[in-house]
Structure 1
């Protein structure tokens, strides 16, 4: 019996000593038998909304992606056509070595503005009396504006879209993906250059009603 116990003890001791010979792996990519993956982080350089005149060359302000301490290549889609006016969403996609991806976006406006609108500056705060909330227009290029809260909604103050003034006092929100991710545009637009100026439009967005909205410049 003593001999049996001795053999069992020797076997256990051998197993412990054998296990102790295997080092625990600990690197940036692995701890023990667990593998670590770092999701890509994308940094978009410059403004999130940029404008380029029709027919001009678009130079992307740049984007960088990394996963952990390693740089990750970025794929940009779609290819931008600067010969066609419109509001485009560029999507930047970075994929790490394990196949996990992250994305970021930039809005690019390709525009054509007539001489009779190029000198206009429609920037400012426009109050919607129905809600007591304002839409804020900011000019970023000739005839191109970023509009915050285009619906003049109490709950939509962070929503932004691009509006254009291509000629005279014609205004519109071209079809685009708004900052809330929904495809949006306007219809039934008018801008009356009085003192104060007044504009009206129907803001088409899935989370908004379809009534005509009136705004007065403050």
Structure 2
């Protein structure tokens, strides 16, 4: 009888605890980040550069953010600046800014046009010039049916070199390494993405 009473007491205590927490839910307001200025930018080597920063919010309330990365305006290349904001519940979000430092020789070259991969699906890449030294292709891997999911931006910092920095494309991360170009003839790179192999892909200008 004593054991039964003890069991009943434990059961009732458990029920009371469940009833106390049954209707409790957790709601958080995720942080948001708004870039000031352009996300992609290109400057000439030797020019000064000032990071325009961002604005970070939790709902409508401004919050602090951290910045990693910087730009060396005297060294040609591509630079990534990452801004991170964390809300009061510890949830974080990040946004990236891309800055290319371009030599005058590279800026004078226009790489825009159509290029065809010389292997695989023989897909065609359409390259457009966004500004001197900054380009976009709709077909990073040279697949047969390119589109928004295969569209990336890249820099042309020096005459024979390209840089395709890590970037989010419709929720999928893309980048490329070993990227080179022979202006007016071809360009090559290896795609960094789980859906692509590590083979060097060459695109010949049509």
TM range (shorter): 0.5 to 0.7
For the residue of structure 2 that corresponds to 1:181, the secondary structure is strand
Tell me by how many angstroms 1:92 deviates.
Answer: 0.8
Q: Which residue of 2 aligns with 1:9?
A: none
TM-aligned CA distance change 1:59 to 1:165, over 3 Å = closer
Aligned residues: 176
Provide structure 1 residue ranges, at least 5 long, that are not aligned to the other structure: 1-31
Q: Is residue 201 of structure 1 aligned with residue 188 of structure 2?
A: yes
Structure ranking higher on relative contact order (CA contacts 8 Å, 6+ apart): 2
Which of 46, 50, 58 aligns to 1:67? It is: 58
RMSD: 3.0
Alignment of 1:1-218 (within 5 A): 36-114=27-105, 117-128=106-117, 130=119, 131-154=121-144, 157=147, 158-164=150-156, 166-167=158-159, 170=160, 172-174=161-163, 176-179=165-168, 180-187=172-179, 189-191=181-183, 193=184, 198-206=185-193, 207-217=196-206
Aligned counterparts of 1:78 and 1:48: Cα–Cα separation in 2: 14
Q: State the TM-score, normalizing by the size of structure 2.
A: 0.68
Tell me by how many angstroms 1:80 deviates.
Answer: 2.5
Tell me by how many angstroms 1:103 deviates.
Answer: 1.0
Q: State the TM-score, normalizing by the size of structure 1.
A: 0.65
In terms of fraction of residues, the more strand-rich structure is 2
1:3-41 superposed Cα distances (whole Å, 9 cap, x missing partner): xxxxxxxxxxxxxxxxxxxxxxxxxxxxx9766431101
Q: Which residue of 2 aligns with 1:20?
A: none
**If you compute each CA radius of gyration, which structure gives the higher value, 1 or 2?**
1
